[in-house]
Amino acid sequence: MSFVNTIRQWDEGVAFADRGDWATALRVLLDIQDSNSKIFFNIGCLHLINQELDEAEKAFDNSICKDEHLAVSFFQRGITFYKKLKFEESQGDFQNAFTELRGNQLIDYKPLGLRYKLYACEILHNIALTQAQLGQWEKGQESLLTALSLKTESKHGHIDRALESVLKQKLFEPVEIQSGALFRPNKHYVAELEKKDYLGKAKVVASIIPQDDFSGFAPLQPQVEEQVPTKQKMPEVLRALEGEPHRVLYEFIAETVEELTVLPGNIVFVLQKGADNWASVFFNGKRGLVPYNFLEPVETTLSSKQGQEGAPYNDIPAPPLGNPPSRPENRAALDPSQNANAVKASNEDDMMIKSQMCILKVHFRYTVAIHTAKGLSYRTVLNEVSKKLNLPLDTITLSYKKSACDRVNADDLEMENIWGSAQNGRLTLWCDVNKDKENRPFFVALHTYEAAQAEDLEFCQGDVITVLSKVNEQWLEGQCKGKVGIFPACFAEKSMSLQRNPL
């Protein structure tokens, strides 16, 4: 069966389920030949609704075989075993579902097409129920106390009631997924199933000329002579651009929010030139003000653009000669008294900023200098050093010389004394590496990865990731910037430099 047919039948089966026609929905899904783990999950849920427990167990078995990390399939198979009074097997599946959460409080399956959130506290609720069924009341009480600590929403009040029942050695009801909660195919794939009419419908017309018997898809007459253009059209790209193109001659750094920073050689489009010699320009998707005497017009004739006169223009323009012109007065300039006050305040602000800055010298295998602000916390300083040295955050320790011969490890309590020892805006620290973690593999992020689910590990390109374990061939578990989660293995590569110089 083709992928298109699989998506079509999957969507059709879910549509029958939405209307409450469980039998038809099950029949349609069972007819799919190449079923994935999500489709097998749907089949198992429909068998559960019909109380066909043996068939439901087989369907969830197939779902787990297709994806051994699908926690919600373990959860549903645990419900199936519980209804079959197989409490030990049920407890095992609930434990597997809890393990697949990997320390997270929940998994939101909405991005995968299932409108359901699997909570850790609800899994522990069902684990406690199976323990109670096996007479393990004390273990059930411990599981519910752990579930209480993982509660995230007020709707989990059933956990408190379950704890009261366990204390009285009474059973309680399990938490189940509501009927009709099924995995749905990707909506973008479903949208592509609809037929699209790219040509449109033909329109039958007839000639309006007397004694013209022709009728068909277009009239024979009258025919309009086509106007032959006397000159070539302007290229569409040039016509679409607003303003007049100008080349930047000198570097201009914006000093206000209204101005726009440009560099020599940039091509900007002048939208409006003011009488005060400031021009409103468009560059790189932004609008702003630039001194007009920093610009020169660019020739945009067809011959220059299309190479009709001789060979294409490939010469590199010579750099502008002389010094840049003086900066014109800002259209938002203040009066002299206010301007003097503004300059004074600006100088005072600059002096204050300089007094609050510090050059931090860090001795490692080599020495680096970091410009930073005084009074930062130890965690912030450690993060800056980690980025500068390209070392994982949890493998380095900072220290400073408290006396001529004693070096003391830095921490949050010592940072106030450390900043107090800075002299003339300079501070020296030493960076040591934790040798206990030298055999741990490190990866460097090739691309930025944004977390799509709660269990994902988010990082930016160039970050160093400590790999904790291998989930499967496509996913790894790692630690970055103090957070632990899973990430695609293809988004990072093993750092050979860090392996040669273990941390």
pLDDT in tens, 449-481: 988 888 889 999 888 888 888 888 888 888 888
Residue 248 has pLDDT above 50, yes or no: yes
456 and 412, same structural domain? no
In a domain, 316, yes or no: no
Last residue of a domain, one of 385, 401, 433: 433
Mean per-residue pLDDT over the chain, rounded: 79
Contact 457, 449 (CB under 8 A): yes
pLDDT classification of 308: cutoffs 50, 70, 90: very low
The domain in which residue 446 lies consists of 442-500
170 and 47, same structural domain? yes
Dihedral angle over CA of 481, 483, 488, 492, nearest 10 = 20
In a domain, 321, yes or no: no
Q: Please report the pLDDT score of residue 277 as a whole number.
A: 85
pLDDT tens digit sequence for 416-425: 888 888 887 8
pLDDT tens digit sequence for 118-153: 999 999 999 999 999 999 999 999 999 999 888 877
- Rg of the chain, C-alpha, whole Å: 35
In a domain, 203, yes or no: no
415 and 486, same structural domain? no
**CATH code of residue 481:** 2.30.30.40
180 and 84, same structural domain? yes
393 and 478, same structural domain? no
31 and 166, same structural domain? yes
Residue 363 dihedral angles phi and psi, to the nearest 5°:
-90, 120
In a domain, 315, yes or no: no
In a domain, 218, yes or no: no
Q: How many domains does the chain have?
A: 4
364 and 453, same structural domain? no
In a domain, 21, yes or no: yes
| pTM score over 0.85 | no
169 and 90, same structural domain? yes
85's CB contacts (< 8 A; 6+ apart) are: none
Length of the chain: 503
